[in-house]
Amino acid sequence: MCGMVYTRENFNQLLAENASLKSEVNLLQEKVQCLMKKLFGRSSEKLSPDQLELELEELRELQEALELAETKAELAEEEQKESKRGKRKGLDARIPKDLPTETIIIDPDEVLAHPELYKKIAEVRTEKLDVTPTRFFRTVIIRNKYKKRDDRSIAPLIAPAPKQLIENSYASTGLVLHIILSKYCDHLPLYRQEQIFKQRFGVEISRKTMGGWMYLVAQWLSLIYEALRNEIRASGYIQADETFIKYQDPKKDYCPNGYLWAYHSPGKGVLFEWYASRAATCLDSMLVDYAGLLQTDGYAGYTSWLNKKSHAKEKAAIIHAACWAHARRKFREVPGNPTAEDIVKRIAKLYRVERKLRNNPDLDPAAYRREHATPVMEGIKTILETERFRQLPQSNFGKAINYTLERWDALNFYLEHGRLEIDNNLVENAIRPTAIGKKNFLFFGSPDSGQTSAVIYSLIETCRKLDINPAVYLREVLTALPTMNQSEAASWTPARWKSNRETTCE
């Protein structure tokens, strides 16, 4: 049997091939571990107990007793907040005091038979929380017609018909409000509401009819919607994100992806815009002529929009900040790497600085961050630049390093601008209710219905952000809309509405 003769060239080729295969195996193993973590690991991005233990060890080595005590107190406070089993509140704290009260008095039969023989000396009170289910009823509007008794030449008199939210429709403001809240707050699709109305109340309202009402109401609300857009743009700070939602296209035999673009300004509200694509041109309506802070994730559409020659004025006027939560997420996806875990632990220090600022509103955010967060970030950058040439670019760790270093300046902007948040989580939280909704209704019924939902979601999510009861707000708005002028719409945004109510109460 003839043996194969290996030359030095063949040997070097085999070594290179072996090294390449090892590298590929390592990458595949890393991907498998990452997928296993996503499938079976914790979805929360909060620090694991092991990482907290590493942090405590570091504090012991530094022997800073005061800082250690503060950290333990902060951790205990965080664990208390995270605990799902907090101390149960009393009944008075859980039930509003201004609820209507119905009193039922129960006397013994003997007292009822001979009340003159008994004297009340005390009472035993038992409080219950009751609810009246949804109740349909007819509202009949009667306009009497009159004629003058002694002068038949004068035309009969009749009061003008009140302006309706939806003309020539039997839908009242209360019915429309109920459908809006059920769909956009309680995430009940229109076809489920149709079934509920028919099965429980014997009332038949087709989903097509309700969809038409939603469209007409959204047209009315567009006045306030545009005023909300102006408020967010004028605030000088926008957090932007986007999420996909499928929609039905009659020209296609499948449901393509559309996108709700979300723009959030802390203290002002959230505005959603619907587009059938994720192209950078979708940003035109919000960012053209905008000046101020813009905070986004790493989606390239934002930077490509700013880098267009036609947007040179906006690029000069906009400070484009990045999100530390997305950077941290990249390192959390690196399984079993001590250096990546160390970086996650260091990023946790940045978030402790933010927690300190939230608990002490009198502190100057920019100055406090420069003092406490800047040294941490310098340490992170040193590690990243060292590891950049040690890691494979296609590995999860290599991708995380490149992602962070490419956006390093944008990640540093929050140190100098006190208004900036450390991450984009506030706008992501605003998107979550829409995600629950799309799990139930699966897709929008047409390309046009996306903007209908965007308008209504904008007002409801703004109410949620500003701690406003959407039922109270929308009832007043829907009642006022038929007689509202365009110039009055600006005073009906949720922020202005809340401010006016607080001023009136004072």
CB 273 within 8 A of CB 282: yes
**Domain ranges in the chain?**
324-423
In this structure, which amino acid lies at residue 232?
I
d(CA 441, CA 189): 5
Region 250-261: mean pLDDT is 85
Copy the structure tokens of residue 39: 């499938």
pLDDT of 348 reads 92
Sequence-distant contacts of 90-93: CB under 8 A, at least 24 apart: 91/127
Structure confidence at residue 3 (pLDDT): 56
Taking the C-alpha atoms of residue 18 and residue 10, their distance in angstroms, rounded to an integer, is 12
Q: Which of 74-83, 394-403, 451-460 is most confident?
A: 451-460
How far apart, in whole angstroms, are the C-alpha atoms of residue 392 and residue 344? Answer: 19
* Rounded average pLDDT over 315-337: 90
DSSP structure string for 14-78:
HHHHHHHHHHHHHHHHHHHHHHHHHHHS----SPPHHHHHHHHHHHHHHT-HHHHHHHHHHHHHH
Residues 6+ apart with CB under 8 A from 449: 211, 214, 215, 247
Mean pLDDT of the chain: 84
- Which has more confidence, 480 or 47? 480
pLDDT at position 48: 52
Two tokens, residue 223: 């006045």
Paired strand residues for 245: 258
**Rounded mean pLDDT of 468-497?**
92
For residue 440, give every residue at least 6 positions away whose Cβ sits within 8 Å of its Cβ, in sequence order, or none. Answer: 187, 188, 189, 192
Q: What would the two tokens of residue 427 be?
A: 């706008």
Tell me what pLDDT residue 6 has: 59
Name the band, by pLDDT with cuts 50, 70 and 90, for residue 152: confident
Indicate if the pLDDT at residue 201 is higher than 80: yes
Instruction: Return the number of other C-beta atoms located less than 10 Å from residue 127's C-beta.
Output: 8
Amino acid present at 315: K
Q: What is the pLDDT of residues 354-389, one digit of tens each?
A: 999 999 989 999 999 999 999 999 999 999 999 888
Question: DSSP 3-state assignment of 240?
Answer: strand
pLDDT-wise least confident of 74-83, 181-190, 376-385: 74-83
pLDDT at 77 over 60: no
- The mean per-residue pLDDT over the stretch 204-229 comes to 93
Q: How confident is the model at residue 101 (pLDDT cuts 50, 70, 90)?
A: confident
DSSP state of 158: E
Confidence grade of residue 182 (pLDDT, cut at 50, 70, 90): very high
Is the distance from CB of 432 to CB of 138 less than 8 angstroms?
no
> CB–CB of 352/74 below 8 Å?
yes
Cα–Cα distance, 371 to 137 (Å, whole number): 64
Q: Tell me what pLDDT residue 13 has.
A: 73
478 with 177: CB under 8 angstroms? yes
Q: What is the pLDDT of residue 38?
A: 58
DSSP 252: S
The pLDDT assigned to 233 comes to: 95
What amino acid occupies position 40? F
Q: How high is the pLDDT of residue 440?
A: 75
Least confident piece of the model among 48-57, 180-189, 265-274, 295-304: 48-57
Burial environment of residue 113 by CB neighbours within 10 A (0 to 12, 13 to 18, 19 or more): exposed
% of the chain exceeding 70 in pLDDT: 83
Start-end of H helices in 288-372: 300-306, 312-317, 324-332, 338-359, 365-372
Question: Facing residues of 274 across strands?
Answer: 260
Whether the pLDDT of residue 231 is over 70: the answer is yes
Average pLDDT over residues 289-296: 94
The model's pTM is 0.78
Is residue 132 over pLDDT 90? Answer: no
What is the arithmetic mean of pLDDT over 53-76?
A: 50
Question: pLDDT band at residue 472, thresholds of 50, 70 and 90?
Answer: very high
Instruction: Render pLDDT for 1-57 as a digit per residue (tens, 0 to 9).
Output: 455 565 767 767 777 777 777 766 666 666 666 666 555 555 555 555 544 444 444
